[in-house]
Structure formats: structure tokens, C-alpha cells
Chains A and B, each alone.
Chain A
Amino acid sequence: MHLLLADAVQPIDPVWFGIPWAIVLTCVMILLGAYTRFGTDELVPIRKDQRDSTVDGFARLTGLIAYTLACVCLLLILYNLLGNLQGADDPTNGWSFAFSLPWIGYGIVSLVAMATRQLVPDGYPEWLSVLKDLSYGVLDVWSKAFFGCWIGAKALGLTDPMSAL
């Protein structure tokens, strides 16, 4: 996405950092999210007789901090990518918003899963598993498959016909 904006009719520079730091921040974001998912099992409370233990409290606190930091990383990445797009007269910019902002959906799905696990701490609700499959599937199809098709069409000169007028 950084590369496409730099290659637009009106090239857009990222706000703060370039591709290498964006990749680093993305990896950090995913690792922090992975800690919350696997290290704390989506912040689910442990057995009833141990819920007030120090270990449980520490795990859930660090998991919550990790998730918050992951959200901060995502916001930094998005603002760095899209912060300079205002006022640019290029259809590519609209598509950039359309393909970038849905990334927030991944965080929302994680948040829904964590909230549900607080309410249903025993076991894993199957409907939640189905919901995650569907929502992550839709997000993946949009942000990878459709994005890829758009990139391919753009490379063939099949998109943004108005810009050629």
C-alpha cells in the first residue's frame, strides 16, 4: 500500500516512517495480538477457585496491555499510511481507504471474542468460532483477494478510467 501511494498520480508520502518501519510495527502488532490470544487465551478467566490469584491477574493485565499496544500499533500504521491523503485528487486514494480501514475489523473481531470469553469463561462457544471464521474470511477475501485483483487490474491499466480523461 505504501508503494501504491508513492506510485499514484499525485504521490503521497507517509506521515512519519517508510516501509521498513511499517513492517516492523506490523510484526510487533501481530506478536502482541498473538500473546493476548495464545498467552492468555483471549483473557479468559481461569478456574473459579483461582480467579483471584496473582498469576491470573498478571496474565490478564499483561494480555490487556498487549492488546491495547497492538491497537496503538494499528492506529499508528493507518495514520502513517493515510494521514497525508486529504485533498489529493486521485481515485487511488479512495481505494487506499477502502482497502486499509477494514484492517480495524480484525481488531474488532478480537475484541468481540475477548468480551464473549469474559461472559462465557467455561469452554469455547461454537457460535463464536463460526463468527470468527466468517468475519476473518470476509476480511481476508477483501484485503487480500480483492486487493490483489485491484492491483492486477491497475497494473493492466483497467482501473481508474476517469483519470485518463
Chain B
Amino acid sequence: MDEQQSLQGNVLFHPSFVTPHDFPAFLRAVVCRVVSGSMLMSGIFTALCALTTTQFDISRASCAISTSVNLVAFYHYAKLIAIREQTGSRVRLSKPGAVPMGQATELKIGWLDMAADAVRYSDWLVSPAPEQQRPRVSDSL
């Protein structure tokens, strides 16, 4: 029954997959929380700058772009925190019934890191996209 429930979604959260690590999970999550908080503070600051600056065009656009980049990073780091705490990532098994029982700890860490890097790469891939919204320099002259 327990195994059937695990197949509904979060395999990494399955008791057989959550393992004690050399580095405590909360310490690993703290690193991501610090980065996440930095992104949020920077996003709020640049948003306020975009709203209050008297320099229009490029400065305001740069602040707005930076706000979006920081908030996207904040969202992705929230995902990373969930992965590091092993409470929120979602990996579906390709073969029903193949609950990851008895795997080596290193292999489980490998899967967790694969999920973490998937979040990172999606963040990097999304981040350049807002740059397409930047006004051309010739437009502001």
C-alpha cells in the first residue's frame, strides 16, 4: 500500500529514498535559503528602483529586467530548497512498481542532484529570455 502511494508522484519522498546524509539536509537547505533570500531582496530592491527612478528608458528597463530575473531565480531556489530537504521534488517512475528500494545512497544522491541541476539549467535558460524585451538603444535616442 505504501509503495502504491509512492507511485502516485513523489518518489524522492518515498521512505526508501530519503536517506541520512553526511551533510544534514537542513544545512544543505540553509545554503539555498540564503541564496533564495538574497534573490528576493534584490528583486524587491530593483522593483522599487524601477518604480522610483527618475531616469526613464534604459535604467528603468534594466531594473525591471533584473527584477524578473531575480524573482525567477527566487522561485527556482524555492524548488531547490524542497529538493535538498527532500520534501517537494516530483519524479515519476517510468516503470510502475519500480520503487527505488535498496539503492545505494550515492545513487540516490545522484538522482537528487539530477533534479537539482534540472532546476538550475531551467533557471539559466529562462533568465536570458527577458533580455529580448530590452529596448534597442537607438529607440531611446
Binding site for B on A (CB under 8 A): 2-4, 6-7, 11, 19-20, 22-23, 26-27, 30-31, 33-34, 37-38, 41, 122-127, 129-130, 132-134, 136-137, 140-141, 144-149, 151-157
Asked whether A149 lies within 8 Å of B23 as measured between CB atoms, the reply is no
A155-B132 contact given A6-B137, A124-B106, CB 8 Å threshold: no
Interface residues of B in 64-122 (CB under 8 A from A): 66-67, 69-70, 73, 77, 80, 84, 104-107, 109-110, 112-114, 116-118, 120-121
Q: Closest Cβ of chain B: how far from A102's Cβ, in Å?
A: 14
Binding site for A on B (CB under 8 A): 21-23, 28, 31-32, 34-35, 38-39, 41-43, 45-46, 48-50, 52-53, 55, 58-63, 66-67, 69-70, 73, 77, 80, 84, 104-107, 109-110, 112-114, 116-118, 120-121, 124-125, 127-129, 131-132, 134, 136-137
Asked whether A19 lies within 8 Å of B134 as measured between CB atoms, the reply is yes
Majority-rule SS of B interface residues: helix
Task: Tally inter-chain residue pairs, CB-CB below 8 A.
Answer: 146
A155-B137 contact given A123-B104, A133-B32, A134-B31, CB 8 Å threshold: no
Among A2, A7, A127, A146: residue with most chain B CB under 10 A: A7
Please pick, from A22, A125, A132, A152, the residue contacting B49 in the complex, using a CB distance under 8 A.
A152
| Residues of the B chain whose Cβ atoms lie less than 8 Å from the Cβ of A157 | 55
Asked whether B121 lies within 8 Å of A20 as measured between CB atoms, the reply is no
Asked whether A133 lies within 8 Å of B38 as measured between CB atoms, the reply is no
Please pick, from A38, A125, A144, the residue contacting B70 in the complex, using a CB distance under 8 A.
A144
| Residues of the A chain whose Cβ atoms lie less than 8 Å from the Cβ of B127 | 144
| Residues of the A chain whose Cβ atoms lie less than 8 Å from the Cβ of B31 | 133-134, 137
Please pick, from B41, B62, B110, the residue contacting A145 in the complex, using a CB distance under 8 A.
B41
State the CA gap A26–B131 with chains docked (Å).
11
Asked whether A136 lies within 8 Å of B120 as measured between CB atoms, the reply is yes
| Residues of the B chain whose Cβ atoms lie less than 8 Å from the Cβ of A33 | 121
Closest to A136 in B: B120
State the CA gap A82–B75 with chains docked (Å).
30
**Can you name 15 A-B pairs with beta carbons within 8 Å?**
A3-B61, A20-B132, A122-B106, A123-B109, A124-B106, A124-B110, A129-B109, A129-B112, A129-B116, A137-B35, A140-B73, A144-B66, A146-B42, A152-B46, A155-B49
